[in-house]
Amino acid sequence: MQDLNPLAADLNEQIRSASSAVGGLLSKLGKRIYLPKGILSQTAEANAEAHQFNATRAIALDFSEGMGDLMHLPVSRKLVPELTPESVYGYASVLGQQALREAWRTHLLQENPSLSEKTFSLPIVTSGMTHGFSLLAELFVDSGDVLILADQIWGNYRLIFQTKAGANIQTYPFFNATSGFNTHGFHRTLTEATDEKLIVLLNFPHNPTGYAVTHTEAQQIVDAIVAQAETGCRILVMIDDAYAGLWYDETVMHESLFGLLLGCHPNVVPVKIDGATKEEYAWGLRVAFLTFGLDATAMQPLEQKISGLIRANTSGASQISQTLILTAMQAPGYAEQKQHNYETLKARALKVKAVASDEQYTKYWDAYPSHAGYFVCLNLKSGNAETVRQRLLAEHGIGIIALGETALRVAYSCLDVSDIETVFAEIARVVERR
């Protein structure tokens, strides 16, 4: 067993006294990690005080224009002429650009009325949401820890939390008998876990079905978590809000569960994982955020630990990506352009809703309720989903995803509204001919 570095021990103590729940949730690695002083802090001191020459940073400067700008290659610079060399090529701070973090916090407040007057952290920038989940796994999950997940999920959770971190995954069926969210199953799985530490992951709008919860379901989820926390169990609740904002149905809740969880119980630690990935139509820029439902006293040492973890893997998210997201968010026309994309996706979602549940197809499949996000899922009444997928691809050149024995996921986000009828007609034809 490695000795605990005194800096790590000090952070652990600060965390424990600020929030015993966070202290009790930390993994072994979470307890060991810290941000070494050294180069980063010496550079920070020099940035503030070295008025003559600053030879601390591991970058190169060009003095041909006088002041010393970041050395770069004009062949790439000419592609982004409006951005400064520093905002393109410079290192971003480990936790992300301060202005972007603040802009994302403002965005969260605007989009989530339940956040107003509640305590939550400044978002931390990660290299995409997957990186955010990996950091949470490192910080909080030890081999054998129970993670409660629905049976229908974004598959990467298993790779991150089960395969890499060794979590013991306990599942409940996502849907109940009336095709609503299975709050009873969720509650039962929570109560059956007798551990003192639990990790819960919830995702609405949902991948793969496009389901979003109603206000009543959201409150039942929170009540179930609070009831479990009352037993003395410490619970990390991860809220995957990848598709936040893409709600198309008035009957469902149009904000994150995160707001309802804030301050719900001292044993509950909510963390929101969201990003530019889908919300800002910037999948490959790899900019996402981790926002904790914690106050500054708990966040200060926790940020040090997260800085240590980031420093030890990506060392920080891409500077140009962060600059592009922030500059776009501040640009004139930003809100209108986002609204335009939203309307386009909504038109597809409404078309899919009508077509997928058309009477002519009821003998082939049930369409799971889809109110939001990118997807609809069909549950085949006969035949094998993978066989249908392969035939659809080989014989019709149409690609969709097969999930398990009977489910087919269609990303209508990738279909023009005028092609939606054709795609579902072709799926029906293949199912019929099996």
| Enclosing H/E stretch for 169 | strand 168-172
Interface pattern 141-170 for ligand PLP (x via CB under 6 A):
-------------x----------------
- Binders of ligand PLP among 212-271, rule CB under 6 A? 240, 242
Contact between 270 and 289 under an 8 Å Cβ cutoff? The reply is no
Q: In angstroms, give the least distance from the CB of 298 to ligand PLP.
A: 25
> Among 96, 123, 275, 301, which residue interacts with ligand PLP (rule: CB under 6 A)?
275
Q: In angstroms, give the least distance from the CB of 132 to ligand PLP.
A: 8
Contact between 70 and 91 under an 8 Å Cβ cutoff? The reply is no
**With binding defined as CB under 6 A, does residue 128 bind ligand PLP?**
yes
The H helix count followed by the E strand count for the chain is 18, 13
Alpha carbon distance 428, 434 (integer Å) = 10
Cα separation values, 297 from 22, 187, 234, 308, Å: 12, 31, 19, 18
Quick one: which segment of 83-91, 126-134, 180-188, 209-217 binds ligand PLP (CB under 6 A)?
Answer: 126-134
Residues 6+ apart with CB under 8 A from 429: none
Max CA pair span of the chain: 78
Alpha carbon distance 24, 345 (integer Å) = 42
**With binding defined as CB under 6 A, does residue 370 bind ligand PLP?**
no
Q: In angstroms, give the least distance from the CB of 288 to ligand PLP.
A: 5
> Among 207, 209, 307, 413, which residue interacts with ligand PLP (rule: CB under 6 A)?
207
Q: In angstroms, give the least distance from the CB of 403 to ligand PLP.
A: 13
Q: In angstroms, give the least distance from the CB of 281 to ligand PLP.
A: 12
Q: In angstroms, give the least distance from the CB of 71 to ligand PLP.
A: 31
C-beta of 278 vs 391, nearer to ligand PLP: 278
Q: Where are the beta strands (DSSP E) in 204-360?
A: 234-240, 268-275, 288-292
| Enclosing H/E stretch for 66 | none
Residue type, 374: Y
**With binding defined as CB under 6 A, does residue 96 bind ligand PLP?**
no
The binding site for ligand PLP (CB under 6 A) comprises 128-130, 154, 203, 207, 240, 242, 275, 277, 283, 288
